[in-house]
């Protein structure tokens, strides 16, 4: 990341949302009920989506080149899809 103020601000937001994905997934794995699991997984989906958003902003604001985030964006989108599909499966079981 460049040392610009813009990069620092967006980078901090990306760091917060992406670390929240891991923390909330861990909390979901320790859930005491299916309802709690669903709630935590919903946060994972929201934070993963926000992480993708901040990566898109970095590219659109021309802070980084698109190819510099291709791999991370792809990984984030895969995590988002997996978490969303898992949440859908839990919802179908009518916790």
Between the CA of residue 50 and those of 14, 17, 23, 31, what are the distances in Å? 8, 6, 15, 23
Distance of CA 90 to the CA centre of its chain: 19
Q: What is the pLDDT of residue 93?
A: 79
Q: What is the pLDDT of residue 6?
A: 95
**Cα dihedral 68, 70, 74, 80 sign:** positive
Q: CA-based angle 70:75:79, to the nearest 5?
A: 150
pLDDT tens across the length of the chain (95 residues)? 899 999 999 999 999 999 999 999 999 999 999 999 999 999 999 999 999 999 999 999 999 998 999 999 999 999 999 999 999 999 887 65
Query: Which domain range does residue 36 map to?
Result: 5-92
Report the CATH number that the domain containing residue 42 is assigned in CATH.
1.20.1440.60
Q: What is the pLDDT of residue 95?
A: 57
Q: What is the pTM of this model?
A: 0.90
**Distance, CA of 65 to CA of 60 (rounded, Å):** 9
Q: Structural domain tally of the chain?
A: 1
Q: What is the pLDDT of residue 74?
A: 97
**And the tokens for 59?**
């590219």
Q: How many CB atoms lie within 10 A of CB 52?
A: 20
Q: What is the pLDDT of residue 92?
A: 87
């Amino acid at each position: 990341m460049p040392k610009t103020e813009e990069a620092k601000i967006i980078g901090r937001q990306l760091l917060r949302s992406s670390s929240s994905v891991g923390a909330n997934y861990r909390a979901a794995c320790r859930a005491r009920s299916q309802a709690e699991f669903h709630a935590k997984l919903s946060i994972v989906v929201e934070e993963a989506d926000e992480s993708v958003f901040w990566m898109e902003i970095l590219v659109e604001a021309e802070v980084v080149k698109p190819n510099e985030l291709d791999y991370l964006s792809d990984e984030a989108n895969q995590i988002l899809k997996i978490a969303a599909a898992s949440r859908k499966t839990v919802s179908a079981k009518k916790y």
